[in-house]
């Protein structure tokens, strides 16, 4: 595989989002990974729309798009998108390999599939850890309750988003 076609797994994992209870990738992120324009990617998908049912790809609602925009750190001063983005599930990304036929697309799809598998393994190991913790808690008495509660608290995702960085311009 050529060096320029190699995509670090961490780069792929960083753009996987959880929307509507599914792990998805935005069309813009996929286009960047594939090295094509978003318009080209979406045109290829629209030409083969029968390959992308609702559980493979869906368009974000205005609220989801607005929420996603607030998470983004990009500038909105120079234009922007004229339509709501599409997102692709793991099956949709796999189907993209049959629509985009470049060698880079093949290598990128392989890395994306590896990222999805790794995330699934991490979630599975976290569930296994929670099960083992519950078994240990049953085995030992209340003197370790504080320790078990602290471990459970560390396993939970953060409840609130981090503080925004930057400053607000006076209006």
Task: Classify residue 90: in a domain, yes or no.
Answer: yes
* DSSP sequence for 149-168: HHHHHHHSPPSSPPPPPS-P
Residue 100 lies in a domain: yes
Output the pLDDT for position 91: 85
3-state secondary structure 36-69: CCHHHHHHHHHHCHHHCCCCCEEECCHHHHHHHH
- Has residue 68 been placed in a domain? yes
User: What is the full per-residue pLDDT of the chain (171 aa) written as tens digits?
Assistant: 444 445 555 667 778 888 888 888 899 888 888 888 899 899 999 999 998 998 989 999 988 888 877 766 554 545 567 788 999 988 888 888 778 777 777 777 777 777 777 777 776 677 777 777 777 666 666 656 666 677 777 777 666 666 666 666 676
Our count of domains for the chain comes to 1
Domain assignment present for 105? yes
| Residue 135 located in a structural domain | no
Which tokens in the block code for residue 28? Answer: 């813009």
Residue 134 lies in a domain: no
Residue 66's domain comprises 3-72+82-123
In a domain, 39, yes or no: yes
Measured in degrees and rounded to the nearest 5, phi and psi for residue 23 equal -80, 125
User: In whole angstroms, what is the distance from residue 86 CA to residue 68 CA?
Assistant: 12
Comparing CA positions, the residue from 139, 135, 134 lying closest to residue 152 is 134
Q: What is the pTM of this model?
A: 0.58
* Among the listed residues 97, 85, 113, 109, the one whose alpha carbon sits nearest the alpha carbon of residue 19: 85
SS3 81: coil
Is residue 151 assigned to a domain?
Answer: no
């Amino acid at each position: 595989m050529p060096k320029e076609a190699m995509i670090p797994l961490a780069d792929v994992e960083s753009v996987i989002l959880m929307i509507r209870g599914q792990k998805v990738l935005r069309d813009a992120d996929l286009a960047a990974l594939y090295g094509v324009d978003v318009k080209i990617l979406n045109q290829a998908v629209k030409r083969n729309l029968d390959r992308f049912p609702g559980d493979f790809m869906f368009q974000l609602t205005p609220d989801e798009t607005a929420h996603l925009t607030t998470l983004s750190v990009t500038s909105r001063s120079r234009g922007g998108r004229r339509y709501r983005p599409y997102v692709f599930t793991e099956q949709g990304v796999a189907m993209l390999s049959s629509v985009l036929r470049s060698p880079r697309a093949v290598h990128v799809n392989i890395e994306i599939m590896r990222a999805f598998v790794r995330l699934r393994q991490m979630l599975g190991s976290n569930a296994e850890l929670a099960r083992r913790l519950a078994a240990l808690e049953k085995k030992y008495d209340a003197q370790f309750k504080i320790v078990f509660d602290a471990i459970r608290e560390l396993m939970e995702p953060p409840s609130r988003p981090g503080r925004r960085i930057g400053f607000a311009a006076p209006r």
